[in-house]
């Protein structure tokens, strides 16, 4: 699975840089929110189903691996200004998600400051590693991960009303969901650009990412991972069926990739016949 070398296509890099500027400008105009001012913290529900707090703790713990996420991908994509600048912005937004989730757990009374400090210490004892060394593979991974993360946050937000309601958490999850959807859109559009330059190579990188997909950290880096996954499934926030219905198939549809291509079958090519071959150079 050889990668298309970074900077081998100036046109590709120009397109990604333009995408990033558009992404950034829209974020500045439409998506920026402030933890202290834009969430009704006085409306936290201290009696909300404890299972919700368990899931929020898991999401918060996953976000705490941000130093690994950014620290390990930036050297891989450093030659690409568009992707480097995007990951810097992405890191800022993800750090805000982590802070806000932590704040809700404490302000709602579901967790203490001491508990969160202990949880953070356990997280930092372990290290997340890139699932692939391919820069194109990581682009495909990030795209898939961001859509799955959006689905997780959206579904949990939609479940809260039936579990007792929490205006502060619902507002917070709404902000985060919008951010995650915007991240997915950037990665998807960047993947489309790579598809135009190296379709077979890009699909070859995407195939194992989708076929072996796992949420980062939850499965192998967090304490009581089995219990955490079960909580997420029991609340119908995310499971295998949801993954295929709302992540796998939407991605290949958005990218215009066929099921046959995802199975690794050769791509059929059509060639136009030169009506006057004798004049060809």
Per CATH, domain 36-263 is 3.30.460.80: no
Query: 80 near 13, Cβ under 8 Å?
Result: yes
Residue 69 makes CB contacts below 8 A (sequence gap 6+) with 91, 94, 128, 216
Tell me the pLDDT band of 9, cut-offs 50, 70 and 90.
confident
pLDDT in tens, 80-128: 999 999 999 999 999 999 999 999 999 999 999 999 999 999 999 999 9
The backbone region for 162, taken as left when phi is positive above 0, alpha when psi lies in -120 to 50, beta otherwise, is: alpha
Residue 161 makes CB contacts below 8 A (sequence gap 6+) with 170
pLDDT of residue 271: 29
pLDDT in tens, 15-60: 999 999 999 999 999 999 999 999 999 999 999 999 999 999 999 9
pLDDT in tens, 172-194: 999 999 999 999 999 999 999 99
Distance CA 266, CA 94 (A): 38
Which residue would you say has higher pLDDT here, 6 or 92?
92
pLDDT in tens, 196-210: 999 999 999 999 999
Tell me the pLDDT band of 7, cut-offs 50, 70 and 90.
low
Going from N- to C-terminal start, the domains of the chain cover 36-263
Comparing CA positions, the residue from 172, 176, 184 lying closest to residue 148 is 184
Chain mean pLDDT for the chain: 91
């Amino acid at each position: 699975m050889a990668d298309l070398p970074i900077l081998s296509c100036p046109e590709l890099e120009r397109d990604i840089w333009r995408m990033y500027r558009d992404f950034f400008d829209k974020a500045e105009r439409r998506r920026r929110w402030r933890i202290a001012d834009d969430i009704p913290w006085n409306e936290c529900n201290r009696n909300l189903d404890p299972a919700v707090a368990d899931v929020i703790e898991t999401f918060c713990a996953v976000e705490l691996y941000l130093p690994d996420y950014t620290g390990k991908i930036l050297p891989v994509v450093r030659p690409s200004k568009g992707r480097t600048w995007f990951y810097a912005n992405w890191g800022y937004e993800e750090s805000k998600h982590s802070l806000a989730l932590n704040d809700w757990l404490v302000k709602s009374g579901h967790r203490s400051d001491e508990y969160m400090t202990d949880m953070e210490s356990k997280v930092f004892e372990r290290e997340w590693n890139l699932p692939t060394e391919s820069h194109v593979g990581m682009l495909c991974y990030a795209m898939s991960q961001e859509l799955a993360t959006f689905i997780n946050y959206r579904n949990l937000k939609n479940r809260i009303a039936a579990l007792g309601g929490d205006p502060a958490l619902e507002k917070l999850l709404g902000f985060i969901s919008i951010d995650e959807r915007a991240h997915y859109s950037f990665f998807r559009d960047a993947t489309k650009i790579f598809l135009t330059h190296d379709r077979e190579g890009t699909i070859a990188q995407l195939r194992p990412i989708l076929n072996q997909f796992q949420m980062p950290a939850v499965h192998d880096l967090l304490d009581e991972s089995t219990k955490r996954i079960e909580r997420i499934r029991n609340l119908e926030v995310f499971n295998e069926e949801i993954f295929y219905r709302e992540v796998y198939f939407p991605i290949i549809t958005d990218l215009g990739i066929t099921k046959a291509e995802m199975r690794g079958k050769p791509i059929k090519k059509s060639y136009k016949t030169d009506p006057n071959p004798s004049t060809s150079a």
